[in-house]
Amino acid sequence: MDTKPRTLLVDGMALLFRSYFATSAVNQYFRTDQGLATNAVQGFTRHVLAAKEMMKPTHMAICWDMGAHTFRTDLFEGYKANRPAPPDDMLHQFDLAKDISEALGWKNFGEKGIEADDFIGSFTKKWEGETDYMILTGDKDMLQLLNPAVSISFMKKGFHVYDVYSDDRFREEYGIEPSQFADVKAFMGDASDGYPGVKGIGPKTALQLIKDYGSVDGVLGALDELKPGQRKKIEEHHDMLMLSKELAVIKCDVPIDISLSELAVPNYRNDQVAYCESQQLNLLAKQLQKNVSSPCG
């Protein structure tokens, strides 16, 4: 019987934004008596509870972006610059989400200048071989982290539908190793993150180049073999290609000073339900109540 721990790594901001936009689209904000929206927070926490129910992790961590300025914006001013500012009704929910997360016994991780992706990447290396990892996100960049011990669940619809990737599925679909995905992104760029890669090279060509030559360096070493048009584009945008690769690679060496045992999935208690009710998070309180342990555990 496999008794290896299973660690759930949650991209907190991805869940928070998704929950906000899914409910605000149908004008559901679940406001408190003071008129404060709670839709993002309640959606995020209920999503994590549902994922926990389905995926049965033994350990878990919630990873957060901490503001728009990161080491990547230092590298490239345009990084994520095209993203609109969060709606006003979301602003107070950023801190509230972390507070509620902590109140439920979940460990939050985030640091100014570092993205949630980089914490998640670093977690997958910290206890390599000791635990399997399940990543919950909406961000395709994470595909580069796949390996036999790491799976990724992309949010699809509601609280129970996920698009799950293993490293085998990735290889089957892309025909390359997950670790080569950042090289593909270097050529094709990323419109949502605001970096262009090599102008004129789209996803199909980018993938084919990496299939043929293995990496950005492999392509650069074989420029003479490429069609003149491709060669010209790559030579003209060489600096942006190299920068895009740097932006695409998830850092996996963020220091994380915690033991695996400290991330053990908590049991939930009636006083936590009461706390959620006191914060007027009624949907969450209702779902949490179903998870409360009996006195015997």
d(CA 290, CA 297): 14
**H helix or E strand, kind and range, residue 183:** helix 181-188
d(CA 239, CA 243): 6
Q: Which structure tokens are listed for 217?
A: 């360096």
Distances (CA, A) of 209 to 17, 39, 130: 34, 44, 35
pLDDT in the model for residue 2: 61
pLDDT in the model for residue 74: 92
Letter for the amino acid at 57? P
Contact of 109 with 117, CB cutoff 8 Å:
no
Letter for the amino acid at 165? Y
Nearby residues of 149 by Cβ (< 8 Å), 6 or more positions away: 124, 128, 129, 131, 132, 133
d(CA 34, CA 214): 56
Per-residue pLDDT of the chain (297 residues; tens, 9 = 90+): 468 999 999 999 999 999 999 999 999 999 999 999 999 999 999 999 999 999 999 999 999 999 888 999 999 988 888 888 999 999 999 999 999 999 999 999 999 999 999 999 999 999 999 999 999 999 999 999 999 999 999 998 777 789 999 999 999 999 999 999 999 999 999 988 989 899 999 999 999 999 999 999 999 999 999 999 999 999 999 999 999 999 999 999 999 999 999 999 999 999 999 999 999 999 999 999 998 864 433
Rg (CA), the chain: 21
Chain centre to alpha carbon of residue 248: 14
pLDDT in the model for residue 161: 87
d(CA 162, CA 237): 37
pLDDT in the model for residue 42: 97
pLDDT in the model for residue 296: 37
d(CA 187, CA 5): 37
pLDDT in the model for residue 294: 47
User: Which string of DSSP letters, residue by residue, matches 195-216?
Assistant: B--STT--HHHHHHHHHHHSSH
β-bridge pairing 108-109 and 150-157: unpaired
Q: Residue-wise over 181-203: b if at least 16 C-beta within 10 A, else e?
A: bbbbbbbbbbeebbbbbbeebee
pLDDT in the model for residue 293: 65
d(CA 260, CA 253): 17
pLDDT in the model for residue 67: 86
Contact of 219 with 201, CB cutoff 8 Å:
no
Letter for the amino acid at 152? I
- Closest Cα to residue 240, out of 251, 248, 230, 252? 248
